[in-house]
Amino acid sequence: MTMSTFPWLTVLVAWPLVAALATALTGVGRGRPAAGAASGGGAFSAGTARTVALVGALVEVALVVGAFLAFDTGAAGTHQLTETYPWIPAFGASYAVGVDGVALLLVALSAGLVPLVILAAWHEQGGDAVRLRRYLATVLVLLSFMVLVFTARDVFLFYVVFEAMLIPAYFLIGGFGQGAQRRYAAVKFLMFSLGGGLIMLAAVIALYLQVPVDAATGLRPQDAFLTDNLTGLALDPMAERLMFAAFFLAFAIKAPMFPVHTWLPDVTQNATPGTSTLLICVLDKVGTFGMLTLCLPLFPEASRWAAPFVVVLAVISILYGAILAIGQSDVLRLIGYTSVSHFGFIILGIFTFTSVGVSGSSFMMLNHGISTGALFLLAGFAIARHPRHSQLVSDYGGMRTVAPVLGGTFLVAGLSALALPGLATFVSEIMVFLGAYGRWPAAVLVAVPAVVLAATYVLLTYQRMFTGPVGAEVAGAKDLGGREKTVAGVLVAALVVLGLVPGPALDYVREPAEVSVELVGATDPQPVLGAAEGSEQ
């Protein structure tokens, strides 16, 4: 089998399931702990499960590297590594996967974060081996879904995974969270997402019925749901707008965007930092990814029509998220709100319909995943050091003194979140601004203060938690251990590398962005942006 025909993506989808099964089975045969005695299993079983899960996740990373090697960067705008098989011919659904540059980066982000999350969760779940094993297995199942959702090239398949992945996510929040309100948060998350998803279902059905019927058989083609087959349909403008609205609502809930973001802070507050990392940094990207790869190409006219509204909401998200982040007392909740702000940037960039803006957004999906993931995981390390596991910023203080590495890496992650030049997020944020300035100058003028707000929430938090007199409760805290240093090191290194040498990563997003802009029927306001792009490089 040559490299080109190797089913990389199917293997990438299937392997985490195998790893999850292996993880789940590590404890079998040791006997179930007695009912009610929650802490059964023993350390040995937990260790085996952790190791199996970690190795499984690392193999997935290796497979992603393989997929990168098989991917032709020169044609990043076209979908590669494609596989297409009939799945439900009666409904026109196929199992069709393929990646362009953006999708590949997001797959890499998913696969890259999971081992870090597993490492970070090493001692989580209160030392309960059984729970930890189930948690890790669920994480791996979620990874499989995440890879599939980013690679799906069939709207039906995308929708199925989009909805089905809510179930493992729901259990991660509600079953393994550490907050007192975790069940409430899980149900809220599920109801918001399913609500949006079911409305999207109506639009999916409506879209399917727009596919012309084959005159000979009186049936729709058996691959009617392929994204390519649904692109460029001549839609009735009103119907197109309604369908766009339904898709967009589902994605905006997922993203999350003002005013349907309210589930997010509850989730980040109550889920484990690792779950939040996967949820906010990867899963929610499905929202913006869906806007980019489904809303724009499937409903170009409606996208252009809706762009002003979307941009207004995006700008509100940017400012609102940042302002609310400043006001939070719970550090995990705070990071959740910063994401609302960042997702505002991503959505703003997508709806600039300029290749610079869209590339910036695509790149930002990656960067935000890394920098926010770093913030969540590092905040989690800080919380683990607190005797009461308090999440309140005010319960900390001076941790830089007792845990300098933790403080330093947290600062770097924070600086990336506020888009300091030299760190990854800066490049993407400036691209979004540049792109937006060509199309929506007013929006940029209103949104720019968010940069200051971002500096406020990051630095204020850092100041309260890590500088000043050492808090009484954290005085005895130790600095990061080797395992935690690995997690922090990998993330910080990624931020620095992507910030200093963004070129290779941008090669993956530039062409897909041009394709998206072309599909939506917009043209770059070339002269201005061409110059801007040149100066920024």
The residues binding another protein (CB under 8 A) are 35-36, 86-91, 159-164, 166-167, 171, 174-175, 181-184, 186-187, 190-191, 194-195, 198-199, 201-202, 205-206, 208-209
Residue 354's nearest CA partner among 418, 311, 309 is 311
Minimal distance, residue 159 CB to another protein, in Å: 7
Residue 356's nearest CA partner among 444, 252, 459 is 444
Minimal distance, residue 90 CB to another protein, in Å: 4
Q: Which ranges in 42-128 belong to alpha helices (H)?
A: 42-70, 101-120
Closer to another protein at the Cβ: 87 or 150? Answer: 87
Which secondary-structure segment (H or E) carries 25?
Answer: helix 8-25
Minimal distance, residue 155 CB to another protein, in Å: 12
Number of H helices, E strands in the chain: 24, 2
Minimal distance, residue 187 CB to another protein, in Å: 6
The dihedral of CA 106, 112, 114, 116: what is its sign? Answer: negative
- For the chain, percent helix, then strand, then coil, each to nearest 5? 75, 5, 25
Minimal distance, residue 166 CB to another protein, in Å: 8
The torsion angles phi and psi of 83, rounded to 5 degrees, stand at: -140, 140
Residue 227's nearest CA partner among 97, 91, 102, 76 is 97
Closer to another protein at the Cβ: 186 or 374? Answer: 186
Residue 387's nearest CA partner among 262, 478, 451, 449 is 478
Minimal distance, residue 186 CB to another protein, in Å: 7
Closer to another protein at the Cβ: 145 or 426? Answer: 145
Minimal distance, residue 119 CB to another protein, in Å: 26
Closer to another protein at the Cβ: 76 or 173? Answer: 173
Distance from C-alpha of 275 to C-alpha of 201, rounded to nearest angstrom: 26
Closer to another protein at the Cβ: 32 or 483? Answer: 32
Tell me how far the alpha carbon of residue 518 is from its chain's centroid: 25
Tell me how far the alpha carbon of residue 49 is from its chain's centroid: 25
Closer to another protein at the Cβ: 195 or 468? Answer: 195
Cα end-to-end distance, the chain, whole Å: 40
Distance from C-alpha of 279 to C-alpha of 271, rounded to nearest angstrom: 10
The torsion angles phi and psi of 38, rounded to 5 degrees, stand at: -75, -25
One-letter amino acid at 164 equals A
The torsion angles phi and psi of 386, rounded to 5 degrees, stand at: -85, 135
CA angle (288, 106, 448) in 5-degree steps: 50
Closer to another protein at the Cβ: 21 or 194? Answer: 194
Closer to another protein at the Cβ: 254 or 400? Answer: 254
Minimal distance, residue 535 CB to another protein, in Å: 47
Closer to another protein at the Cβ: 183 or 241? Answer: 183
Residue 325's nearest CA partner among 309, 342, 350, 300 is 342
Minimal distance, residue 520 CB to another protein, in Å: 26
- Decide: 461 and 335 in contact? Cβ < 8 Å: no
Closer to another protein at the Cβ: 53 or 165? Answer: 165
Minimal distance, residue 222 CB to another protein, in Å: 10
